[in-house]
């Protein structure tokens, strides 16, 4: 048993010796990483390019690409190195960086930072910041020879690219409205109003819309508005269910209520069995009104014809008088001239 335990201990010790260098090597692998940030339109963002597990690098040269449609370059800020060369290529969308130290530098931290402004009209989404070759148009993502120590030994760091995630705003996605809220209730004849507001922070945009008037909802039955007496007619009408409006105002005699067995009482509802009679009364009143209008129209047409006739006759008389006056004037002038010649 002791022999078995001893053998297991030897195996575990051997494995620890083998695994430890591998783990150490993985931990010491150099890494260059780019920030990942979130923003909205018109924000200013800072993208850091960091190095960690630096084994000692003397020279590095690479570019950081970006999307000019999403962000606009503002400036580049140095980090913890001593030698820097920068150039921004806005049209092509990348910043180039060249560094050459006097010896190997094992600095870990921010190599440099780039400040951008998020464009106002950019669509929401994720936009990449990628480390690429110093000549990205030719060599793309290949970083062969871009990192080296003073012994000219190439160093191939792990690259972790970054991005900016641009959220929705009113500028790039339109307003995000709440549900409509009724602020003024519409009535039968008056319009109402409703509003809704954008729920995005710092927007405050509000929309107002009219609500159409609902229109009258008149009852089928008649209501007595004024009772009939022996001296005067009563009045009944159909009442709106929502307001005080009425229609089909109808006059009735005392005998109508007696003949049709409905109570001649203020605000009394006329029973349905009397409605047919009331409909006939309304139709009769409409016919009488139409006949009056026709009579008035005919009378007006006749007056107009007479007026036209007299107007024409007056013109003729004026023309005759004017002609006669002209002839008389001509005769007088002719007589004067003739007398003058005799003298």
* 33 within domain boundaries: yes
* 333 within domain boundaries: no
* 186 within domain boundaries: yes
Q: What was the pLDDT predicted at 235?
A: 92
Q: What was the pLDDT predicted at 23?
A: 47
* 295 within domain boundaries: yes
Same-domain pairing of 68 and 193: no
Q: What was the pLDDT predicted at 342?
A: 58
Q: What was the pLDDT predicted at 12?
A: 47
Same-domain pairing of 243 and 122: no
* 1 within domain boundaries: no
Domain endpoint, select from 169, 184, 200: 169
Q: What is the total count of domains within the chain?
A: 3
* 339 within domain boundaries: no
- Distance between CA 224 and CA 321 in Å, rounded? 68
Say which residues have a Cβ less than 8 Å from residue 135's Cβ, sequence separation at least 6: none
Q: What is the pLDDT of residues 240-286, one digit of tens each?
A: 999 999 998 888 888 877 777 778 888 888 877 767 777 777 777 77
CATH number of the domain that 155 lies in?
Answer: 2.60.40.680
Higher pLDDT, 186 or 296: 186
Indicate the range of 9-18, 60-69, 183-192, 297-306 predicted with least confidence.
9-18
* 235 within domain boundaries: yes
Same-domain pairing of 288 and 254: yes
For the segment 91-120, the average pLDDT, to the nearest whole number, is 94
Q: What is the pLDDT of residues 124-163, one digit of tens each?
A: 999 999 999 999 889 888 998 899 999 999 999 999 999 9
Q: Can you name the residues that pair with 192 across neighbouring β-strands?
A: 211
For the segment 27-43, the average pLDDT, to the nearest whole number, is 90
Q: Can you name the residues that pair with 234 across neighbouring β-strands?
A: 252
Same-domain pairing of 201 and 156: no
Measured over all CA atoms, what is the biggest interatomic distance in the chain, rounded to whole angstroms?
184
Q: What was the pLDDT predicted at 16?
A: 54
Same-domain pairing of 200 and 136: no
Same-domain pairing of 111 and 161: yes
- Distance between CA 39 and CA 129 in Å, rounded? 14
Same-domain pairing of 74 and 196: no
Mean confidence (pLDDT) of the chain = 84
Same-domain pairing of 34 and 158: yes
- Distance between CA 96 and CA 83 in Å, rounded? 14
Quick one: three-class SS letters along 238-251? EEECCCCCEEEEEE
Same-domain pairing of 191 and 253: no
What is the rounded radius of gyration, in angstroms, for the C-alpha atoms of the chain? 51
Model confidence at 1: pLDDT above 50: no
pTM over 0.75: no
For the segment 213-221, the average pLDDT, to the nearest whole number, is 92
Residue the block writes with tokens 């780019």: 34
* 8 within domain boundaries: no
Q: Which residues form the domain of 78?
A: 29-169
Confidence of residue 101 (pLDDT cuts 50, 70, 90): very high
Confidence of residue 330 (pLDDT cuts 50, 70, 90): confident
Same-domain pairing of 278 and 163: no
87: closest CA among 51, 135, 40?
135
Beta carbons within 10 angstroms of residue 129's beta carbon: 24
Q: What was the pLDDT predicted at 304?
A: 61
Same-domain pairing of 36 and 159: yes
Q: Can you name the residues that pair with 209 across neighbouring β-strands?
A: 194
Q: What was the pLDDT predicted at 294?
A: 84
Same-domain pairing of 33 and 163: yes
CB contact at 8 A, 281 and 250: yes
Token reading at 135: 């000549």
């Amino acid at each position: 048993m002791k022999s078995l335990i001893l053998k297991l201990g030897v195996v575990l010790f051997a494995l620890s010796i083998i695994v430890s260098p591998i783990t150490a090597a993985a931990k010491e692998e150099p890494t260059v990483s780019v920030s990942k940030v979130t923003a909205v339109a018109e924000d200013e963002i800072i993208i850091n390019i960091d190095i960690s597990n630096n084994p000692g690098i003397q020279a590095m040269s690479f570019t950081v690409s970006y999307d000019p449609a999403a962000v606009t370059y503002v400036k580049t800020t140095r980090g913890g190195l001593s030698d820097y060369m920068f150039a921004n290529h806005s049209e092509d969308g990348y910043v180039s960086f060249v560094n050459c130290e006097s010896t190997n530098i094992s600095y870990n931290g921010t190599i440099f930072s780039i400040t951008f402004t998020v464009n106002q009209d950019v669509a929401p989404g994720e936009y990449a910041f990628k480390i690429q070759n110093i000549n990205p148009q030719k060599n793309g993502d290949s970083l062969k020879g871009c990192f080296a120590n003073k012994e000219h030994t190439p160093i191939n760091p792990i690259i972790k690219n970054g991005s900016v995630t641009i959220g929705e705003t009113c500028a790039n996605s339109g307003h995000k409205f709440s549900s409509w809220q009724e602020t003024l209730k519409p009535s039968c004849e008056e319009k109402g109003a409703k509003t809704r507001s954008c729920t995005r922070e710092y927007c405050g945009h509000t929309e107002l819309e009219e609500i159409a008037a609902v229109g009258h909802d008149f009852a089928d039955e008649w209501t007595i508005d004024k009772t009939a007496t022996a001296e005067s007619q009563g009045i009944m009408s159909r009442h709106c269910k929502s307001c005080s409006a009425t229609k089909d105002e109808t006059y009735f005699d005392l005998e109508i209520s007696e003949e049709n067995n409905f109570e001649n009482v203020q605000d009394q509802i006329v029973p349905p069995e009397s409605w047919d009679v009331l409909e006939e009364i309304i139709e009769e009143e409409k016919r009488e009104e139409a006949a009056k209008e026709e009579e008035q129209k005919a009378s007006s047409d006749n007056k107009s014809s007479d007026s036209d006739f007299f107007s024409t006759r007056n013109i003729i008389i004026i023309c005759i008088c004017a002609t006669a006056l002209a002839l008389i004037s001509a005769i007088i002038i002719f007589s004067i001239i003739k007398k003058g010649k005799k003298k």
